[in-house]
Amino acid sequence: MRKKVIAGNWKMNKLLNEAEDFVTDVKGDVPSFDQVETVVVAPFTHLHPLVQKAAGSDVKIGAQNMYHEDNGAFTGEVSPEMLKDIGVDYVVLGHSERRELFAETDESVNKKVHASFKHNLTPIVCVGESDEQREADQASEVVEAQVKKALEGLTNEQVQDVIIAYEPIWAIGTGKTATAEDANAMCAHIRNVVKSFANEEAANQLRVQYGGSVKPANVEELLGQSDIDGALVGGASLKADSFLQLVEAGK
Ligand code: PEP
């Protein structure tokens, strides 16, 4: 049985006091880490205070991006070593907004995935097709190529600790959700793709989340599918009460 992971991706939202209040509000109410992994994925400026707020609770903190080098002349970047140093445990890599707006590529995502393992951060690797690609019946092959490239060169031990977030771009922040059946089929496809380059055990342990307009009204149906191991959630993760409902559904 794979443990579900519910991660709230706040994107570029919330001021520090709002972020701290959120963690204070939810930390006593989230299920135990043994039941479900609860991750708050916050802007860089909030990470250290949030790690401190969440200390001793079942809420873990994630970053929304990082660079792949440990340190050096990379103005404006944040390294995996810096994230680990302040107690961050997860990092979202290759979100479609980063791919579309900040020229993130499969190659850069792959470098970052390797860097995350070097520093003991759990990567949440985002993949997903655009509307045009889905219309052109290319969704499966686009996602397959993204998965293969992002995980290239990992050992089986590393593959089993990866979290992949399948996020069809047309469903992100649009209110349109993939049907539970379609989302499940793509998550199962992703696991089969992983089996083509990693061993069966690693592929069966790796978790595949769904993301794209997940909310309290649809989370149970999505998480009830055989191959959906959690959710990466934007909009509905911003309010403590709806985030708590999502996390509860992951138990
Ligand atoms: C996301 O940011 O990864 C996301 C899925 O957003 P939303 O839930 O708002 O669609």
Per-residue pLDDT tens digits for 167-212: 999 999 898 888 999 999 999 999 999 999 999 999 999 999 999 9
pLDDT at 187: 98
Helix (H) or strand (E) holding 36: strand 36-42
Three-class HEC string of 179-246: CHHHHHHHHHHHHHHHHCCCCHHHHHHCEEEEECCCCHHHHHHHHCCCCCCEEEECHHHCCHHHHHHH
ipTM > 0.90, yes or no: yes
Which domain, by its residues, includes 128?
5-250
Confidence band, pLDDT 50/70/90 cuts, at residue 1: confident
How far is residue 26 CA from its own chain's centroid? 19
Give the CATH number for residue 225. Answer: 3.20.20.70
Nearest residue to 5 (alpha-carbon basis) of 206, 240, 170: 206
Range 227-240 average pLDDT: 98
Distances (CA, A) of 149 to 94, 160, 184: 12, 16, 22
**Residues 60-78 pLDDT 10s:** 999 999 999 999 999 999 9
108 labeled part of a ligand binding site: no
Task: Collect all residues with Cβ–Cβ distance below 8 Å to 61 and sequence separation of at least 6.
Answer: 39, 40, 41, 42, 47, 50, 51, 54, 87, 88, 89, 90
Give the position, in ligand 1's atom list, of the atom nearest the Cα of 235: 9
Is 46 one of the annotated active-site residues of the chain?
Answer: no
Q: Please report how many Cα atoms fall inside a 13 Å half-sphere around the Cα of residue 141, on the Cβ side.
A: 5
pLDDT band for position 32 (50/70/90)? very high
Residue 38 identity: T
Is residue 95 among the annotated active site residues?
yes
Q: How confident is the model at residue 141 (pLDDT cuts 50, 70, 90)?
A: very high
Q: What is the pLDDT of residue 176?
A: 86
Q: What average pLDDT is seen over the chain?
A: 97
Euclidean distance between CA atoms 147 and 191, whole angstroms: 10
- Nearest ligand 1 atom, CA 11: 2
Choice from 228, 232, 238, 242 to test ligand 1 binding pocket (greatest atom count within 8 A of CB): 232
**pLDDT greater than 90 at residue 120:** yes
17 is in an annotated binding site: no
- Domains identified in the chain, total number: 1
User: What is the C-alpha to C-alpha distance for residues 86 and 51, in angstroms, rounded to an integer?
Assistant: 7
Whether the CB-CB separation of 216 and 181 falls below 8 Å is answered with no
Backbone angle region of 242, left / alpha / beta, with phi > 0 → left and psi within -120 to 50 → alpha:
alpha
Q: Which residues contact 162 (CB under 8 A, 6 or more apart)?
A: 113, 122, 123, 125, 151, 154, 206, 207
The pLDDT score that the predictor gives to residue 177 is 85
Q: State the pLDDT at residue 198.
A: 98
Count of positions (residues) in the chain: 251
Percentage, residues of the chain above pLDDT 90: 97
